[in-house]
Amino acid sequence: MVLRTERGLAPTTVRIHYAAPRINRDQLRSTGDSNLYEAPWLQPMMVALGLSESSARVNFANCRITLQPANASDIQLTFPVEVNTERIRAGVVREALWERQFNLHPDGDNFYNASLRWPHEKQPSKAPVAWHEQVSDFRCIATDLGQRDAGAFARLSVRSGGSFGKRPWRFIGETGGKQWRAALERSGLFRLPGEDALVWREKSKLDGRDSEDSAKPFDFRQELWGERGRPAREWETAETVELMRLLEAPPADEHFSLLPADWRTSLSFPEQNGKLMVAARRYQSRIARLHRLCWFLKGDDKQQKAGWDEIGDCEDTRLVRPELKLLAEKRDPRVKDALESQLRERLELAPKVLVHIANRILPLRGRSWHWERHPAGTEDNTLHQLTQNGESRDSKEKPVWLRGQRGLSLERIEQVEELRKRFQSLNQMLRREVGGKPPIRRDESVPDPCPDLLDKLDNLKEQRVNQTAHMILAEALGLRLAPPPANKAELRQQKDQHGTYEKILDKAGQWLGPADFIIIEDLSRYRASQGRAPRENSRLMKWCHRAVRDKLKQLCEVFGLPVVETPAAYSSRFCSRSGVPGFRVAEVTEGFTKEGQWGGWPGRRMSKVTQQWNRNGCSISTVNSPKRRKNWSGIGKKRHACSLALSGRS
């Protein structure tokens, strides 16, 4: 390696000692293991699937190693781990069966699977043996990615024969005399930390009041502080009162307060921080208005007239007090001095308040956030930045808690992004001279004032993408997290086990098995545009649904699971009478079954539906079948995921 020596930089022979707990976690190496040619490797999911170790031997003897130094004391050692994907695929799914069995949709220069190909649809050249000629049943899992929750899923069992028992089913198509029916096998919601996710934890006092609780000392239970976050401690509530007072929105003032009357008990700690962010945004808005008024009063006659008029029309007494208005009517020059004095006071107070709020929203251990001068700043271009160089705020009386901040939820991401906007706005305000015009330059001469916040945002979004894709894959493989073993403390002395998995069993105690393919919505056209509301565009930028799709495909490639992207149009619709998926409810007239979208529905089935409509004397838009509601009541919010799977029917 090239190191700095007494003679300067020179190549030097070194010995590197490394610590790699993940190698033990994934059982690539063990204490005393000296065989580098056949190191066993099984990822936790593969262990649950029952794959043998012989199919996953890794040769580290001639492995290519890469050094990635972050600094002199932090050198990352990376090496590739080759996986025998052929044997894994053969032991998990029927990959060869579904090859070239889907209709393709263009995506630039590439194509992706869009829907299952039925006999009446256009066949490719040199078509393989059709899927319906090779199997009599298959399973699929449809996923509807969400924003409030990570997503919803519906696992469907599709058969051409046999009975589903008492389970409700839907007819989805016919192929060469085979009647294909689909029934819901399992459904649920994917929840991330901060979305009321299920976590392994000890029974609490609140759990004792829940009649549905298992009463076990430890079990998978809803996280204590989920989508609302943890409650505020007494001294944190007192801080909220003081910060609101400094931001000119005291809770005791009914006119300017942003908090509800019962906020001390109704608002959680993150929700209180959200109110503080609103108050900070309005506080900065008043600073910007003071900047403009001071600039106008120093300008030409036209600007001065506009400034005096604005002062006279201002109804916010926090900016212009009544006595100041009287002076403004007389064009008294003391008005300008009073406004400049207010502006300087606010500019001095704003950084302190925002840093305090940052330490509440993103608390740090052993350090704190600090607002300081940027090294790239000059006298003509005053710059500041937010760093982690502040002193620790942790104390016995006021300990720092990192937990209970709503995890990976979009509300958490939005709050951190809003915090970053406040510091960017503050940086621009401090660049402007009192009474001067706003700075025009917004190019490379104004670097990001809070790069650490941006890194934390990127980490939050990346974790949200990775965990969402991981949950979808586990459900598709028929796996779930297993309870930790009783001797967990002893096992940690041997290896750093990062969770184990178990098979999902049905009511008869049989493994559900892996799905044959995964269905997600094709949301490639659902992008930010001027035709959408600003809030919707903002949410789309944080959603990262395309990143989830790409990550899911990457994970599924190892197991040979096809990912199908079906169009989202009409996939949330079900006919209330016939159960046809993908159709909007509409008024119809006699003979409608011979035309349009209804023409392809099996005539015998539609004739029965039409006869029943005629007997009841009502149209599609006015019919509501109690039997249908009862049959599909178990689906609830997951019906959209079901319709995704059925939208490519015959």
Q: How confident is the model at residue 51 (pLDDT cuts 50, 70, 90)?
A: confident
The mean pLDDT value for 144-162 works out to 88
Which of 97, 84, 20 lies closest to 51, judged by CA? 84
Comparing 54 with 420, the larger pLDDT belongs to: 420
Retrieve residue 32's tokens: 């005393």
Alpha-carbon distance values, 88 to 49, 52, 83, 92 (Å): 10, 10, 9, 6
Q: Are 196 and 223 in contact (CB under 8 A)?
A: yes
Q: Are 431 and 381 in contact (CB under 8 A)?
A: yes
Which pTM was predicted? 0.81
Pairing of β 66-71 and β 74-78: antiparallel
CA distance linking residue 59 with residue 76, whole number of Å: 20
* pLDDT of residue 625 exceeding 60: no
Alpha-carbon distance values, 369 to 270, 290, 386, 450 (Å): 18, 27, 7, 10
Provide the 8-state DSSP code for 581. Answer: B
Least confident residue range of 171-175, 599-603, 627-631: 627-631
Q: How confident is the model at residue 536 (pLDDT cuts 50, 70, 90)?
A: low
* pLDDT of residue 571 exceeding 60: yes
Taking every pair of Cα atoms in the chain, the longest distance, rounded to a whole number of angstroms, is 100
CA distance linking residue 543 with residue 413, whole number of Å: 10
pLDDT score recorded for residue 139: 93
Task: For the chain, give every domain's residue range.
Answer: 2-91, 137-217+471-567, 231-363, 592-645
pLDDT score recorded for residue 58: 63
Comparing 211 with 29, the larger pLDDT belongs to: 211
pLDDT score recorded for residue 628: 39
Q: How many CB atoms within 10 Å of residue 423?
A: 22
* pLDDT of residue 315 exceeding 50: yes
Q: Are 440 and 9 in contact (CB under 8 A)?
A: no
pLDDT score recorded for residue 615: 47
Strands (E) in 236-395, as ranges, are 368-373, 384-390
Comparing 561 with 91, the larger pLDDT belongs to: 561
Which of 413, 418, 463, 416 lies closest to 192, judged by CA? 463
What torsion do the CA atoms of 88, 94, 95, 98 make, to the nearest 10 degrees? -170
Could you report the per-residue pLDDT of 231-274, keeping only the tens digit for each? 999 999 999 999 999 999 999 888 899 999 999 999 999 999 99
Q: What is the 3-state secondary structure (H, E, C) of 134-163?
A: HCCEEEEEEEEECCCCCEEEEEEEEECCCC
pLDDT score recorded for residue 114: 84
Give the residue carrying structure tokens 């007389």: 330
Q: Annotate 470-512 with DSSP letters as a single string.
A: HHHHHHHTTEEEPPPPTTHHHHHTT------EEE-B-TTS-B-
